[in-house]
Structures are given as structure tokens and as C-alpha cells.
Amino acid sequence: MLTVTEGAKEKLKSRLLRLRMDSKRTIRLIPSSKRPGKWKMIWDKERPEDQVVESKDGIRILLIGTDLVRAVEGMVVDFRTTPEGTGFAIYKLRSHT
């Protein structure tokens, strides 16, 4: 299962509410075609088979295609502040075996 932290959910919601021009579009998580092993977020329309992440108040803030459900298993979407700046971090949790 993909984990989206509360901080990331709030930033996604804020970005959606600020930039949404088409109420049928939201943010979709996809693999980067230019940077293997990395992920990016794009604007897209929801498809019936998508898995959807919602904010606490029910706003649909992130879409994941069914073809990517296994790929995002154990991953985390977070919003971080670092010395380099602020932004979303998408990473896989390390297992403790």
C-alpha cells in the first residue's frame, strides 16, 4: 500500500485548490520516463479503475493507476523541507529483516 503523509496530503490539496482549472482533473503519480526509478506527478483525469487517495475532508487528491499498484507497494509520498528547499519526496520504506 502507498502511504501519503498528512503533510503531503495537505500540500496536494492546497496545490489542487489553487491550480485546478478543470474539476475533472487531479494529480496522478506516474514513473518518470526520463529518470528511471524516479516518480513524478502530472495533471490527469480520473479513470474508473484508479485507486484514489483522499484528503481528510474527502477531496480526491492523488490518482494511482491499477497498473502501478504493485510498483508503489511500500512507498511513501511526503512533503519535506531540506537545506536544498521544499518539495515532495517519493521513496520506498526500507524493510527491517
pLDDT at 96: 56
DSSP state of 66: G
C-beta separation of 72 from 82 below 8 A: no
> Residue 2 corresponds to which cell in the numbers above?
502507498
Q: How confident is the model at residue 93 (pLDDT cuts 50, 70, 90)?
A: confident
pTM of the full structure: 0.86
Contact, 60 vs 4, CB < 8 A?
A: no
- Give 18's pLDDT tier (boundaries 50, 70, 90): confident
Q: What is the mean pLDDT of residues 17-24?
A: 76
The answer to whether 11 and 48 are in contact (CB under 8 A) is: no
Which pLDDT band holds residue 95 (cuts at 50, 70, 90)? low
Structural domain boundaries in the chain: 3-92
Q: Say how far apart CA 58 and CA 62 lie, in whole Å.
A: 11
pLDDT band at 88 (very low <50, low <70, confident <90, very high): very high
Cα gap 90→5, rounded to integer Å: 11
The verdict on domain 3-92 having CATH code 3.40.50.170 is no
